[in-house]
Amino acid sequence: MTDAALFQSIIASLPEIVVVTGACILLILGQFVRKGQEHFLVAASVAVVLIAAFATLLLASEVRPAYSGMFIADRFAVFFKLVFYLATILTFLLSRKYADIEGIGSSEYYVLLLFALFGMMIMASATDLLSIYVGLELMVLCTYVLTGFLRRERRSNEAALKYVILGAVSTGIFLYGVSLIYGLTGTTQLDAMAQAVTGDPLDPGLLLAVVFIVAGLVFKVGAVPFHMWLPDVYEGAPTTITAFMSVGPKAAGFAVILRVFLNPLVAASDVWIIVAVIAVVTMALGSFVALVQDNFKRLLAYSSIAHAGFAIFGVVAGGQNGIASVMLYLLIYAFMNLGIFGAVIMMRNGDFSGEVINDYAGFAKSHPGLALLMLIYLFSLAGIPPTAGFFAKFYVLVALVERGFVLLAVIAVLLSAVAAYFYIRVVMVIYMREPERAFDPALTPMVRATLAFTALGTIGIGLFPAWFLGLAQQSAAGG
Amino acid sequence: MGFPLLSLILFTPAAGAAVLMFLRSDDAVRWTALVVAVLDLALSIVLLAGFDTTTHEMQFTETVPWVPALGITYALGVDGISALFVFLTALLGSVSVLASWVAIERKVKAFMVSLLSMQALMLGVFSALDLFLFYVCWEAMLIPMYLIIGVWGGDGRVYAAFKFFLYTLAGSLLFLIGVIALYFHGGETFDILALTAQDLPFRVQSWLFFAFLIAFAVKVPMVPVHTWLPDAHVQAPTAGSIILAGVLLKMGAYGFLRFSLPMLPEASVYFSPLMLALSALAIVYGGLLALAQDDLKKLVAYSSISHMGFVTMGIFALNIRGLEGGILQMFNHGVTTGALFLFVGLIYERTHTRSIADYGGLMKVAPVYTVFLALFTLSSMALPGTNSFVGELLVLSGGFAANLAVGAAAVLGATLGAAYLLGMYRRVALGPASVGARFKIRDVNAREMVAILPLAVFVLWVGLYPKPFLEIIDASVKNLLVEVHGEGSGQ
């Protein structure tokens, strides 16, 4: 690599460099932060992400391939990075008070989140199976640790262990697929792979390799049959981390899935049938199992499985609209899911966990404003207009029907009617039960800001989707 | 595009709901809600006054791009059919606020906000000229209605609210797929007028007809998807019942008129025998169910199923008398059944029982109440001189022209209607005054009178001089028939 090419590569990956440098500096500075001054960590972490976001937007004007075809900074990556920044910053804001209550407010917590962000950014930009792997591993290793961050809590430890073991297996499967691809095509670059294969795209060896890669990837988004880890991990992890994982790493998983599926090699094979089946089963399992959950975090875990299923429908649809629909879905999901998790995090105060759905009984009576926000998030998750959640689903359905998959669209809407039941059940508990205790939500200005911002996004994108739709469509085209 | 009157009508209740959120005292909330509702009613009267009855073209149209990438616009407009329902919605909106004045004691603010947002969305449904906008309003209505039933309803309210929500949602979601399919078949537009002008292949029309049918049949409701209605009506607070019976049920029938008939004409003609049969079934079955009820509200709820059967029958008779009768009957049913629910609510506020067996001799303690009850009861059974007589007569003559057996079933249903309604009135109002001894009942007061009188006026006005109402819908109905049967058949 020449000096000029290296320089270009560094420019293209400037946001990543900002994040990783910031994380390293924070790691050192964190040692000097005294107890009671943790707000410095939050402010510094947020600043790092904002600088990275600024750099990303600055470089968004053109497509920049970098590091000899391992990496690319294009619009597609920019869109996903913006989702990651959003998820990370909101997680930081939600974490401050929660971390105090749980006693996990050390600097490592914030640094690990930044490293996870770094991993996700690499995933969004990676154009080589190996760089995908590096980003993926960086991200999941951080989330393994963060899941087990409640060191004194048994279920947090259990969740982390479960996550590590299952995650390692799925990574192994992914790597096996990569090695098969390399054996068959002699390359791991996504673009070169397709050119290397001139024969039948339905070659069994190739199909096997693609299936392995898909299996490794759907694990990360929590799709059936690789969803087993998800409810336990979501329940056991600190709630802020659950919120982060349900949005950031999931979106990163989808970024890679879309990148791989954009690849003509994969598009030519009939692997979409497998993906369609995965979508249906994932959504069905998430929706039906969520019906019987009493724990709010578990309910949201299954809801997140169901939403992953719906987004995979967009992957099945493929094409320009299909890809854009998945991207828009993830952006909207980030707003509404961080909103509802923000509400759960806010409820955790003193001895009150706020994890059981019945804990919210009669919440509307004493806190009508906060209850209204929860109502908005929940109806948005259920996909009822005029919230953004409806438009997200609507656009996926448009993409499906456009490709002629009407039956899949019908299945998707029927399952989302099932899913609506458990969201409105929570609304019922909030609004139609009598309160059993006094509520004392941990409302710091940061939490307030997060809730206001996510609610604004949930309603705003629902009412004025045009700009966001255009953004998603442009980004999908630039991929 | 002139003055955006329709937008103003739509956004007045929405803005009112937003203002309410910042008020503290319950009384201020009530008065503000009333002022907003009455203002909206006044605006809708302005709309009717400026309405040109000689054309079927959309009037007061407004178009603003909304999501250009998908061909979605914010497009509003009314023709003769929708203008009538914009007015009905605004009228019943005001009545509902008055009906909730003392009946709603808890969370008054939240209730009025829900009520006014309901009103904005219902108005949106009737004036939308864009399928996406229509769907958004249609579906968004579930949120406030779910709360109105579930928070302020009776003892079984949670069950009723869930049932209402899930039934309607499941129906509408298939409609959504139909809408998207129509979007791609009709040249990637959600413009209702452009889609109406399309000529779709029969096979596509048939599929879409059933996708639409599920959504509209649930809302109407038609037998056999009517089972949410008794629960929702009985459990909902009075205002909720008025809105449900008066406006929500009309939206299903309106869907047939706005989408199924003009967009899918061949399928509508082809499947009209099925629809007529289902309508006849609803008329008779609903009547029989009503006959067996002891609960006042349930009785009125089941009678709604029967009466909406008349409406769908008139629509799918697919001739001018049937259609005009059906549409007029939609309006009449909104007024009359809205009034009956109001009356049930009024007496329930006083006695806290809805069982007919608990009543008797109400005439002696509350004469004014019983006189008006008589008026609306007679209107509901379509006595000559009341509004429903005109509507039902037209529907029957249209129905007989379409199919003799169906017409005969409808006559049977009308007879059943007389039986259960008169029976109800006799047991409640006449006989020995057993009621006064057990309950302290006062007659209607001035506020209640204000809610009752406009409805009573329309009962007699439409009954004695229906011409202005028929004139409003006439041009649009004739045009609709041309769209269904082709040129030269608008007799």
Binding-face residues of B in 158-177 toward A, CB within 8 A: 158, 161-162, 165-166, 169-170, 173-174, 176-177
pLDDT at B435: 56
Give the CA count within 13 Å in the CB-facing half-sphere of B45: 7
- How do strand B59-67 and strand A71-73 relate by DSSP bridges? unpaired
Percent of chain A with pLDDT over 90: 57
- How do strand B72-78 and strand A64-66 relate by DSSP bridges? unpaired
**Would you call B64 an interface residue with chain A, using a CB distance cutoff of 8 Å?**
no
pLDDT at A188: 86
Tell me which chain A residue has its CA closest to the CA of residue B109.
Answer: A368
Q: How far apart are CA A111 and CA B207, in angstroms?
A: 56
Chain A residues within 8 Å of chain B (Cβ atoms): 364-365, 368, 375, 379, 384-386, 390, 394-395, 397-398, 401-402, 406, 409-410, 413-414, 416-417, 420-421, 424-425, 427-428, 431-432, 465-466, 469-470, 473
Helix axes of A319-347 and A239-262: crossing angle, nearest 10 degrees:
170
Q: What is the DSSP string of B370-400?
A: HHHHHHHHHHHTT-TTSHHHHHHHHHHHHHH
Binding-face residues of B in 101-130 toward A, CB within 8 A: 107, 110
pLDDT greater at residue A479 or residue B64 = B64
Query: CA distances (Å), B271 to each of A280, A460, B128, B477, in order?
Result: 33, 42, 26, 20
Q: Give B69's contacts in chain A (Cβ within 8 Å).
A: 466, 469-470, 473
Radius of gyration of chain A (CA): 21
Residue A201 pLDDT exceeds 70: no
Cross-chain CB nearest to A431 (options B151, B166, B173): B151
Q: Closest Cα to residue A15, out of A69, A68, A80, A70?
A: A80
Domain boundaries defined on chain B: 276-491
Please check whether residue A91 is in contact with residue A113, taking contact to mean a CB–CB distance below 8 angstroms. Answer: yes
Cross-chain CB nearest to B176 (options A413, A427, A428): A413
pLDDT at B369: 87
CB-based contact B169 A414, cutoff 8 Å = no
Please check whether residue A227 is in contact with residue A297, taking contact to mean a CB–CB distance below 8 angstroms. Answer: no
Percent of chain A with pLDDT over 70: 96
Q: Give B165's contacts in chain A (Cβ within 8 Å).
A: 420, 424
CA A34 to chain centre: 32
Q: Which helix (H) or strand (E) holds B75?
A: strand B72-78
pLDDT at B490: 45
For chain A, give the number of residues.
479
For chain A, give me the number of helices (H) and strands (E)?
21, 2
CB-based contact B136 A424, cutoff 8 Å = no
Query: CA distances (Å), A98 to each of A2, A46, A446, in order?
Result: 48, 17, 11
| Cβ-based contacts under 8 A for chains A and B | 85
- Token pair, residue B473, equals 């819908």
Q: How far apart are CA A459 and CA B140, in angstroms?
A: 12
Residue written as tokens 């899935």?
Answer: A257
pLDDT at B439: 64
Q: Closest Cα to residue A370, out of A347, A386, A388?
A: A347
pLDDT at A38: 78
Please check whether residue A235 is in contact with residue A309, taking contact to mean a CB–CB distance below 8 angstroms. Answer: no
Tell me which chain A residue has its CA closest to the CA of residue B113.
Answer: A372
Q: Closest Cα to residue A340, out of A422, A200, A451?
A: A451
- Give the predicted TM-score (pTM) of the model: 0.93
Q: Which amino acid is at A118?
A: F
Among A36-45, A323-332, B135-144, the least confident range: A36-45
Q: What is the ipTM of this complex?
A: 0.92
What's the gap in Å between the CA of B390 and the closest CA on chain A? 38
Q: Per DSSP, what are the bridge partners of residue B76?
A: B62, B128
pLDDT at B103: 83
pLDDT at A108: 87
Buried b (16+ CB within 10 A) or exposed e, B235-274: bbbbbbbbbbbbbbbbbbbbbbbbbbbbbbbebbeebbee
pLDDT at A125: 93
Cross-chain CB nearest to B146 (options A365, A417, A424): A424
Cross-chain CB nearest to B180 (options A390, A397, A432): A397
Residue A197 pLDDT exceeds 70: no
pLDDT tens per residue across all 491 residues of chain B: 568 889 999 999 999 999 988 888 888 899 999 999 999 999 999 999 888 888 888 888 899 999 888 889 999 999 989 999 999 999 999 999 998 888 888 888 889 999 999 999 999 999 999 999 999 999 999 999 999 998 888 888 899 999 999 989 988 888 999 999 999 988 888 988 888 888 888 999 999 999 999 999 999 888 888 889 988 988 989 899 999 988 999 999 999 999 999 999 999 999 999 999 999 999 999 999 999 888 888 999 999 999 999 999 999 999 899 999 999 999 999 999 999 999 998 888 888 888 888 887 788 788 888 899 999 999 998 888 899 999 999 999 999 998 889 899 999 999 999 999 998 998 888 877 665 556 667 788 888 888 899 999 999 999 999 898 998 898 888 888 888 887 655 44
Q: Closest Cα to residue A33, out of A24, A23, A44?
A: A44
Most B-contacting residue of A403, A413, A416 (CB-CB within 10 A), to test interface: A413
Under the banding of pLDDT at 50, 70 and 90, the label for residue A353 is: confident
Q: Closest Cα to residue A381, out of A454, A293, A318?
A: A454
pLDDT at A268: 65
Cis peptide bond prior to B201, omega within 30° of 0:
no
Q: How far apart are CA A171 and CA A212, in angstroms?
A: 10
CB-based contact B177 A409, cutoff 8 Å = yes
Average of per-residue pLDDT across A124-141: 93
Residue A214 pLDDT exceeds 50: yes
What's the gap in Å between the CA of A328 and the closest CA on chain B? 14
Q: Closest Cα to residue B94, out of B4, B8, B12?
A: B12
